[in-house]
Structure 1
Amino acid sequence: MQWIEITITTTEDASDAICEMLSQIGADGIAVSDPYEIARIIEDPDSLAYADEGYIESLGSDVTVKAYFAEFDDGVRLGPKNEEYVDPNGVGMIYGNIADKTMPAKNALKLIEDKLAEIGQFLPVGRGLTGHRYVQDKDWENEWKKDYTSFEISDRVLICPSWEEAEVKEGQIVVKLDPGSAFGTGTHETTSMCAEILDKLIKPEDKILDLGTGSGILAIICDKLGAGHVEAVDIDRLAVDVAEDNCRNNDCADIDCYTGELKDAKNSDYTLIVANIIADIIAAIAPDVPARLAPGGKFVCSGIINTKKDKVEAALAAAGFTILEKHEKNDWMAYICTLEN
């Protein structure tokens, strides 16, 4: 067996979708080098990070995603790592499942190029697949870790990989999360905006639904910030499995993780529903959210590219929501909404 490292040169907007696609087709590890995130950390006045003059400019504008697949004598290993997720029809999987377990390397590369083209229909993927190479076991073991380190996602929340012991400030909570799952680790603007909002909103009496939970990061943040009851739901069974593992790893086993959509939510009196998904889905579900909120409850939605903000704002208004706050980072929007009286 050997490891094949596949390099994709993309944009910040598309990097999360590409990571999720790679995970779903069977990547054993994923590493992301995002110059925008590095720049934000260095330029943060509260950060202790330092860089020589000109370093940030030298990073360029491309986001590099590296995915690692195991190659055996009969080909590159693809497909879910658990038989529970094998579904030739791709039901519940955003980018479709892969039924074949192995295929020649050139076919695997072609598959990835095809998947990138699909993503390119709604997000700018940049240059796409730019190369591949073979790496030794020991090289891969450390390669995927070196670009991911602790960072503050909000005033009180520190995201930390499992292999690192971070310095924790007084009053901070730590969320242990590794990048390999590709269902969201907090580095994207949409997730960080949600975290910042939750940091200010969460109260002990809150009953929260994290809709489209992915890695479970937002549900875990809610739980650690003291919310009384937290549910995490996702249409993807693999995401729910990842979220459950992350909840256990963070001593948040009381979070109720389950597979489903908004219609499958277990309660109709949530004080807060958070949805970090995509604009079209937020617009589509907006009419159904009010029936799930308690009086005075809030709806926090993110994952909205600014070119679709008018569509989302119109859908929220039609559903009876008033937007209390608008948050923006780069090209992404997040809203705090409540129902009109």
Structure 2
Amino acid sequence: MAWLELRVVTTKQYAEAIGDFLNEEGALAITLRDGKDQPILEPGVGETPLWQDVDVVALFDASADLEPVREQLYTQFDNLQVKIDPLEDQDWTATWREHFEPMLFADRLWVHADWHEVNVSESQVKMLLNPGLAFGTGTHPTTAMCLNWLAANLKTGSDVIDFGCGSGILAIAALKLGASHVRCVDIDPQALDAMHYNAEQNELNLSCYQAVLPDQLETQAADVLVANILANPLIHLAPKFASLVKSKGMLVLSGILVEQVERVQKAYLNDFDIVKLEQKDEWVCLVAERKAY
């Protein structure tokens, strides 16, 4: 079966409205993509992408008349470009899947989609995570650094908190790597739904994790707290995180731009010893140990 692909080159100001318009015009699928490879955090469940330049890509049946749709786009929105191309079914499938290759972290943890077969060694584990339409085509550096740390350092039987869990990738990775229990926290209820769904896909029992809003989080300290969010929330949450990590426990913070590292470190120095700063592209992951108390 053949399709038509309509691509709109626009900005974040109009991306959501254009997506809604194309949906109303009968689009079968809509993908939001980074228009200029801008390094930002991948959007969470239900969020609008934060890229400055956005490509809105819509899939239509080959019989659709898209010229009136093109004209309406130019009438309703400013500063955009619209391109319409035929697309064969096998091309669409290949385009959709070719970017989601299995990924290996610290030679121990495989992350893969359900259309891939992954053979693991006795020392390796694997987790299933299918990407959503709006999540881009790869693991963001901030996520990758957290996954690498977990795969290389997490001790079997650890109690873990994943603060800002999103899809649950870090929480599920921790459980696959031997954590005894993970508390998943997010301000977005849709993220908690995504965590439950992905945990079920990985055949994880509800007894080994909780997925809650911040005000529902149990307050006992954990062996490890990982938070892949943004610098300003990390700074604001420093006292809370200090209370949630056991004496000599580990803290893994990501979502920090290089120029923000000094401010984040300063917020944590009273209660934590900085163990490691890892940089990937423009992003930094901070690893710290809770001071003895």
TM-score tier by shorter-chain length is 0.7 to 0.9
Matched position secondary structure for 1:174? strand
Contact 2:99/2:138, CA 8 A, preserved across alignment: no
Which position in structure 1 is the counterpart of 2:35?
Answer: 9
CA distance in 1, matches of 2:188, 2:115: 27
Match of 1:106 among 73, 89, 107: 73
CA distance in 1, matches of 2:175, 2:277: 24
Contact 2:32/2:133, CA 8 A, preserved across alignment: no
In structure 2, the CA distance between the partners of 1:310 and 1:131, relative to structure 1 (3 Å rule), is farther
* Residues 79-113 of structure 1: per-residue CA shift (max 9 Å, x gap): xxxxxxxxxxxxxxxxxxxxxxxxx9739x959x9
In structure 2, the CA distance between the partners of 1:275 and 1:197, relative to structure 1 (3 Å rule), is same
Q: CA deviation at 1:170?
A: 3.8
Q: CA deviation at 1:253?
A: 2.9
TM-score norm. by structure 1 comes to 0.64
Matched position secondary structure for 2:235? helix
The number of residue pairs the alignment matches comes to: 254
CA distance in 1, matches of 2:31, 2:150: 37
TM-score norm. by structure 2 comes to 0.74
After superposition, where does 1:180-259 map in structure 2 within 5 Å? 180=132, 182=134, 187-254=139-206, 255-259=208-212
Match of 1:323 among 262, 265, 274: 274
Match of 1:335 among 271, 286, 289: 286
1:144 aligns with 2:170: no
Which position in structure 2 is the counterpart of 1:260?
Answer: 213
Q: CA deviation at 1:333?
A: 0.8
* Residues 249-286 of structure 1: per-residue CA shift (max 9 Å, x gap): 1122334342312x532231211110011111111101
Matched position secondary structure for 2:40? helix
Contact 1:5/1:67, CA 8 A, preserved across alignment: yes
CA distance in 1, matches of 2:137, 2:156: 25
Contact 1:5/1:133, CA 8 A, preserved across alignment: no
In structure 2, the CA distance between the partners of 1:175 and 1:312, relative to structure 1 (3 Å rule), is same
Which stretches in structure 2 are left out of the alignment for 5+ residues? 1-25
CA distance in 1, matches of 2:225, 2:32: 37
Contact 2:255/2:285, CA 8 A, preserved across alignment: yes
Question: 2:190 is aligned with what amino acid?
Answer: L
In structure 2, the CA distance between the partners of 1:339 and 1:211, relative to structure 1 (3 Å rule), is same
In structure 2, the CA distance between the partners of 1:222 and 1:244, relative to structure 1 (3 Å rule), is same
Contact 1:222/1:230, CA 8 A, preserved across alignment: yes
Which stretches in structure 1 are left out of the alignment for 5+ residues? 28-62, 76-103, 114-128
Question: 2:73 is aligned with what amino acid?
Answer: K
1:24 aligns with 2:65: no
CA distance in 1, matches of 2:120, 2:173: 15
In structure 2, the CA distance between the partners of 1:225 and 1:282, relative to structure 1 (3 Å rule), is same
Identity across aligned pairs (percent)?
A: 27
Matched position secondary structure for 1:308? helix
CA distance in 1, matches of 2:31, 2:85: 6
Contact 1:184/1:215, CA 8 A, preserved across alignment: no
Q: CA deviation at 1:219?
A: 0.6
* Residues 305-338 of structure 1: per-residue CA shift (max 9 Å, x gap): 11111110111114x2111121111211111112
